[in-house]
Structure 1
Amino acid sequence: MTNIPTAADLLRKSLDTFLAKDMKGWADLCAEDVVAEFPFAPEGSPARIEGKTALYDYLRGYPDAIDIASLPTLKVYTTDDANVAIAEWSASGKVLSNGNPYEMRYATFVTFRDGLIVSYREYWNPQAFMTAMSGASFDG
């Protein structure tokens, strides 16, 4: 009997791939028609990206900008839909250009089809992101 990975397993694998800084490997976990949404993206950053190639183009430079050293917290939730998993997680690292700490919490909603990501929606704090990237203070 073959163990078929659950949506929760697949979501954990995507986060492991992200932590390994393998953006090509992460994109390969996505379907060609994937849609990624970042509803709280700061001005100038895309709030929606359509397609595997476009998503890889968006992500590929991420490890050159931010060095994520660990994911200190991770809770993965299953849903009534076997193809959907939700994660609450955090990333800890530093911004390479300015040495600022990067500490971010996320809520991620992921839908899979045939073992591949077809919908990825991620919520995070754009003020904390802009502070880390720019060095401005944040009282948040």
Structure 2
Amino acid sequence: MSENLSAADLVRRSLDTFLAKDMKAWADLCDENVVVEFPFAPEGSPTRLEGRTAVYEYLRGYPDLIDVQQITSAAIRGTDDPDTAIADWSVTGRVLANGNPYDMSYATFVTFKDGKIVKYREYWNPLAFLKALGGDSF
């Protein structure tokens, strides 16, 4: 692990980076060959990204779409695999285009190698996402 941080500590770092809206820094937490999966992504949105560059391209406009203002809860736990942690976390914020509230809960499974994210799988509610956006997909 990086700087002797546990997988749970590294997930906390990734959440802090996300909340700071620094998508470049978040992508830099990833291994060059990271695999990111969103199994419940709405139609028209990617369900799988491969590589740090693809992750950054996907995330870079996120702060212009949704202003995540607070992580309201974050239960982060290590697993039997010391390189893997699970996070159950929630955020509040607003959609910038329409002012709608954005309240979302996530279940995230993250695996690290040498302190970098190598696999990231995130589950969230696409119906709540689309409702916040006003029925549009991105």
Is TM (by shorter chain) over 0.5?
yes
- Rounded to whole Å, the distance in 2 between the matches of 1:122 and 1:76 is 14
Partner of 1:51: 51
Q: How many residues align?
A: 135
Q: Does 1:110 align with 2:110?
A: yes
**Alpha-carbon shift at residue 34 of structure 1 (Å):** 0.2
* Structure 1 stretches of at least 4 aligned residues deviating more than 2 Å after TM superposition: none
1:125, 1:37 → 2: CA distance? 14
Higher RCO (C-alpha 8 Å, min separation 6): 2
Distance 2:51 2:111 in 1: 14
Q: CA RMSD in A?
A: 1.4
Q: Do the aligned partners of 1:100 and 1:135 also contact (CA within 8 Å) in 2?
A: no
Q: Provide the residue aligned with 2:36 in structure 1.
A: 36
SS at structure 2 position matched to 1:103: strand
- Residue 110 of structure 2 is aligned to residue 119 of structure 1: no
Bigger Cα Rg: 1
Q: 1:81 corresponds to which letter in structure 2? A: D
Do residues 72 (structure 1) and 72 (structure 2) align?
yes
Give the conservation status (yes or no) of the 8 Å contact 1:98–1:135.
Answer: no
SS at match of 1:130: helix
Q: Distance in 2 between matches of 1:130 and 1:45?
A: 11
The residue matched to 2:72 in structure 1 has which SS?
coil
- Matched to 2:27, the amino acid is A
How far off its partner does 1:134 sit? 1.1
* Partner of residue 19, structure 1: 19
Q: Which amino acid aligns with 1:119?
A: K
Q: Which amino acid aligns with 2:115?
A: G
- Percentage of identical aligned residues: 65
Q: In 2, distance between residues paired with 1:135 and 1:47?
A: 19
Q: What TM-score does the superposition give when structure 2 sets the normalisation length? A: 0.95
Q: So what's the TM-score if we normalise by structure 1?
A: 0.94
Deviations 1:23-55 (A, max 9, x none): 000000000000000000000000000000001
